[in-house]
């Protein structure tokens, strides 16, 4: 064998041995890399290892790993190593351009061997990069992931088929690990996003819960407290009284209930205005709170009426001492708008268990004592059964009233209303009487308060409504354009089912809702304004006409008055009767007529007993009048004859 051939064989053997060692190194590197990345779930760590091993395998100056983002619209260079890699990592590239996009569309590697397969234009575009770039796809079990790119062979050579094969094999080995790491990262991101969302939702829920709790607390406060004075209202007073009674039963103690109203409060409203009246009520409430113990309850029941619950009171003497302390505090002159006002009060006291063991009975008896104090002008009074008009005799009368309602002992009288513009009768007010078997004819003041206190007001009102509507139906059938007015008590107005009672009466009698007019006093409205406004709204929606009776005598607020869906106001007779001789009354009537008309309401004057007053009201623009000058209340059986003979005449349909 020639020396030359021996030399060639030796070189060939050395080359093969070098290639074998290189392959062994590559295989060892592949195995070591596969083992390393298979145990790693952090995507950045996996990609960094893959990039570093890939650079060693293909001897590239730079290795980059582009990974498809979750939207599948672009690559993001997630890892790299070598020259300029740090400047590129983190950038993104659209799938519609470049070699990365080509690999994604064809799902196969890029190297210079694919140039022959390209269209001329595409080949010309990438020919200068053909040998300097190699990019193999990363394809997992579930999806296309991205690729491994080598850029610029170290030493200036081109990436060859051997580089392609080894990098393709490497990519297939690490793809599953990369896919797992991507899945782990996406799951981690999803968990973090979910955690962040949960935290945000929890924050929003907590915030909303707090807001709702605050709103609910405010609503509860409004429902249980008087809007003007911010002290407990009637509802909360009943609850506190009941709690105090239960505690007193357990501990064998006494409870004092005090009812109080202001004397001559109407004069303050009339002379200084309702705003001043509001200030007085607020001042009284503040004085009561400042005088009593923290464990006591001070409530406003409506208008100028207050109540106090004093639990754990020792005896009658202790209750009287507390009452005197209250009187001294409240009756101290009040400076209002530069004026010194003397505030007189009447206060009634009822004790548990001496005067009753049930809250309703104590309320009734404290009220009785308060009116006794008012009659006696004594400032305060302790409940005394001897002077209780609702004691034994009244209980007997209660039974008789129930019998009277059920056995048609009630009667209706009618008083006409005369229209100033036409001079004719426009309607009649139905006035109930009781033909008592022993006491004779009884007027409403003798039995309506009893009916309200004993729950008989509802059947009594039903009787009056149906009797009046039947009579009104007869007028309408006879062609007479007459309406009928019925007085409604405070108890009726506070009954949430009262509108249904009226609707039933209309249905039972076949009467039209517009034939009926309900007269309601200011005092009845102001006991529970929110409840009254709701009831009036329902009645108005039914088509029933509503009027405020005895207007000017009760306490009302313009804020409430403008909310009431009423059709007219009736000026109380106390202002009307003497207005032709009393200039103050005349001024009040003129003002009330103007107020009513400015609110779009019709105005009726009650108590017209002379031609002079009639003429004066007509000049002032009053709409209609009612009083003895035109007619006294007429018994039902005499009414038809009176209507035929009346000088006023009747409006016909």
DSSP letters, 396-438, are HHHHHHHHHHHTT-EEEEEEEEEETTT-SEEEEEEEEEEEETT
- Give the separation between CA 268 and CA 266, rounded to whole angstroms: 5
Over the stretch 213-266, which tens digit does the pLDDT of each residue have? 887 788 788 889 998 999 999 989 999 999 999 999 988 899 999 999 998 787
For 639, residues 6+ apart whose C-beta sits below 8 A from its C-beta are 414, 428, 471
Contact in structure between 381 and 366 (CB atoms under 8 Å): no
pLDDT of residue 393: 60
Q: At what angle are helices 43-58 and 3-38 packed, to 10 degrees? A: 180
599 pLDDT more than 60: yes
Mean per-residue pLDDT for 487-505? 89
62 pLDDT more than 80: yes
| Exposure string over 126-160, b if 16+ CB within 10 A, otherwise e | beeebbbbbbbbbbbeeeebbbbbbbbbeeeeebe
- Give the separation between CA 135 and CA 132, rounded to whole angstroms: 10
Q: Which residue has the higher pLDDT, 560 or 413?
A: 413
Mean per-residue pLDDT for 469-491? 90
Which helix or strand (DSSP H or E) is residue 297 part of? strand 297-302
Contact in structure between 412 and 638 (CB atoms under 8 Å): no
- Comparing CA positions, the residue from 564, 541, 533 lying closest to residue 551 is 564
User: What's domain 21-189's superfamily in CATH?
Assistant: GAF domain (3.30.450.40)
Task: List the chain domain ranges.
Answer: 21-189, 234-388, 413-645
pLDDT of residue 120: 64
Dihedral (Cα; 449, 450, 456, 460), 10-degree rounding: -60
- Give the separation between CA 93 and CA 81, rounded to whole angstroms: 18
- Tokens 């009346």 correspond to 646
- Tokens 């039974």 correspond to 399
Contact in structure between 203 and 63 (CB atoms under 8 Å): no
pLDDT of residue 89: 92
DSSP bridge partners of 123: none
What the block records as the tokens of 626 is 């009612």
In CATH, 413-645 is 2.40.50.140? no
Q: At what angle are helices 444-454 and 392-406 packed, to 10 degrees? A: 90
Which has the minimum average pLDDT: 63-72, 561-570, 584-593? 561-570
- Comparing CA positions, the residue from 493, 572, 571 lying closest to residue 529 is 493
Specify the 3-state DSSP secondary structure of 351.
strand
Mean per-residue pLDDT for 204-209? 84
Q: Which residue has the higher pLDDT, 324 or 495?
A: 324
Which helix or strand (DSSP H or E) is residue 369 part of? helix 359-376
- Give the separation between CA 148 and CA 49, rounded to whole angstroms: 12
pLDDT of residue 386: 75
pLDDT of residue 509: 92
- Tokens 């779009």 correspond to 600
Mean per-residue pLDDT for 257-281? 84
29 pLDDT more than 60: no
- Comparing CA positions, the residue from 149, 169, 145, 147 lying closest to residue 159 is 149
Highest mean pLDDT among 65-79, 284-298, 477-491, 553-567: 284-298
Alpha-carbon distances of 531 from 233, 304, 495, 526, 560, rounded to whole Å: 13, 18, 8, 9, 12
pLDDT of residue 215: 78
Q: Which residue has the higher pLDDT, 307 or 187?
A: 307
Which has the minimum average pLDDT: 162-171, 428-437, 544-553, 579-588? 544-553
* Confidence class for position 20, pLDDT limits 50, 70, 90: very low
- % of the chain surpassing 90 pLDDT: 37
Over the stretch 122-132, which tens digit does the pLDDT of each residue have? 655 665 566 68
Q: What is the DSSP string of 102-117?
A: HHHHHTS-BSGGGGGG
334 pLDDT more than 50: yes
pLDDT of residue 440: 87
Highest mean pLDDT among 101-110, 258-267, 634-643: 634-643
Over the stretch 339-397, which tens digit does the pLDDT of each residue have? 778 888 999 999 999 998 888 889 989 988 998 898 888 899 999 887 665 455 666 77
- Give the separation between CA 521 and CA 487, rounded to whole angstroms: 9
What the block records as the tokens of 621 is 């623009």
Instruction: Match domain 234-388 to its CATH number in 3.90.1300.10, 3.40.50.300, 3.40.630.10, 3.30.70.270.
Output: 3.30.70.270
Mean per-residue pLDDT for 163-185? 85
Q: Which residue has the higher pLDDT, 112 or 167?
A: 167
* Confidence class for position 32, pLDDT limits 50, 70, 90: low
pLDDT of residue 93: 85
337 pLDDT more than 80: no
Kindly report the average pLDDT of the chain as a whole number.
85
Specify the 3-state DSSP secondary structure of 533.
helix
Mean per-residue pLDDT for 466-481? 91
- Give the separation between CA 284 and CA 300, rounded to whole angstroms: 10
What the block records as the tokens of 551 is 């207007």
627 pLDDT more than 70: yes
Q: What is the model's pTM?
A: 0.46
For 581, residues 6+ apart whose C-beta sits below 8 A from its C-beta are none
Contact in structure between 255 and 244 (CB atoms under 8 Å): yes
583 pLDDT more than 50: yes
pLDDT of residue 575: 87
Specify the 3-state DSSP secondary structure of 315.
coil
Over the stretch 9-18, which tens digit does the pLDDT of each residue have? 556 555 544 5
What the block records as the tokens of 71 is 């939207």
Mean per-residue pLDDT for 65-80? 88
């Amino acid at each position: 064998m020639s020396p030359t051939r021996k030399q060639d064989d030796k070189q060939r053997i050395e080359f093969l041995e070098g290639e074998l060692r290189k392959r062994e190194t590559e295989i060892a590197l592949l195995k070591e890399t596969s083992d390393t990345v298979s145990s790693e779930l952090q995507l950045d760590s996996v990609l960094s290892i893959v990039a570093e091993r890939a650079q060693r395998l293909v001897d590239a100056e730079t290795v980059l790993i582009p990974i498809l983002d979750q939207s599948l619209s672009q690559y993001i260079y997630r890892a790299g190593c070598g020259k300029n890699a740090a400047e590129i990592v983190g950038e993104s590239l659209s799938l519609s351009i470049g070699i990365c996009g080509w690999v994604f569309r064809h799902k196969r590697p890029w190297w210079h061997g694919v140039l022959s397969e390209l269209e001329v234009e595409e080949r010309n575009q990438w020919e200068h990069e053909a040998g300097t770039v190699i990019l193999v796809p990363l394809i997992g079990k579930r999806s296309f992931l991205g690729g491994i790119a080598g850029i610029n062979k170290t030493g200036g050579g081109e990436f060859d088929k051997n580089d392609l094969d080894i990098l393709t094999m490497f990519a297939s080995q690490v793809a599953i690990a990369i896919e797992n790491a991507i899945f782990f990262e996406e799951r981690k991101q999803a968990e973090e996003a979910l955690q962040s969302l949960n935290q945000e939702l929890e924050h929003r829920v907590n915030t909303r819960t707090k807001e709702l709790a605050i709103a609910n607390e405010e609503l509860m406060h409004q429902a249980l407290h008087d809007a003007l004075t911010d002290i407990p209202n009637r509802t909360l007073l009943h609850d506190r009284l009941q709690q105090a009674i239960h505690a007193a039963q357990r501990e064998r103690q006494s409870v004092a209930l005090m009812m109080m109203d202001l004397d001559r409060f109407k004069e303050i409203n009339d002379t200084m205005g309702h705003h001043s009246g509001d200030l007085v009520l607020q001042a009284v409430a503040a004085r009561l709170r400042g005088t009593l113990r923290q464990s006591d309850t001070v409530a406003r029941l409506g208008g100028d009426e207050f109540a106090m619950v004093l639990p754990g009171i020792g005896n009658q003497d202790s209750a009287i001492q507390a009452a005197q302390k209250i009187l001294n505090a409240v009756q101290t002159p009040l400076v209002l708008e530069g004026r010194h006002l003397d505030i007189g009060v009447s206060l009634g006291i009822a004790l548990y268990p001496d005067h009753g063991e049930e809250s309703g009975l104590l309320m009734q008896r404290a009220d009785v004592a308060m009116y006794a104090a008012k009659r006696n002008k004594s400032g305060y009074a302790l409940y005394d059964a001897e002077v209780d008009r609702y004691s034994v005799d009244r209980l007997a009368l209660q039974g008789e009233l129930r019998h009277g309602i059920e056995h048609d002992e009630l009667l209706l009288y009618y008083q006409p209303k005369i229209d100033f513009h036409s001079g004719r009768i426009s309607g009649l007010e139905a006035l109930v009487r009781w033909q008592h078997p022993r006491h004779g004819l009884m007027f409403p003041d003798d039995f309506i308060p009893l009916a309200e206190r004993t729950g008989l007001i509802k059947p009594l009102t039903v009787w009056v409504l149906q009797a009046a509507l039947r009579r009104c139906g007869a007028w309408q059938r006879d062609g007479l354009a007459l309406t009928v007015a019925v007085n409604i008590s405070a108890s009726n107005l506070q009954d949430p089912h009262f509108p249904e009672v009226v609707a039933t009466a209309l249905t039972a009698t076949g009467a039209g809702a517009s034939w009926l007019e309900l007269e309601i006093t200011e005092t009845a409205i102001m006991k529970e304004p929110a409840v009254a406004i709701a009831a009036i709204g329902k009645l108005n929606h039914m088509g029933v006409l509503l009027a405020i009776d005895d207007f000017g005598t009760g306490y009302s607020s313009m804020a409430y008055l403008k909310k009431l869906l009423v059709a007219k106001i009736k000026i109380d007779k106390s202002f009307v009767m003497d207005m032709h001789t009393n200039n103050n009354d005349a001024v009040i009537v003129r003002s009330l007529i103007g107020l009513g008309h400015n609110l779009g309401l019709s105005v009726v004057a009650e108590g017209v007993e002379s031609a002079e007053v009639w003429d004066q009201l007509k000049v002032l623009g009053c709409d209609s009048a009612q009083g003895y000058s035109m007619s006294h209340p007429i018994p039902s059986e005499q009414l038809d004859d009176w209507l035929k003979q009346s000088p006023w005449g009747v409006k016909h349909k």
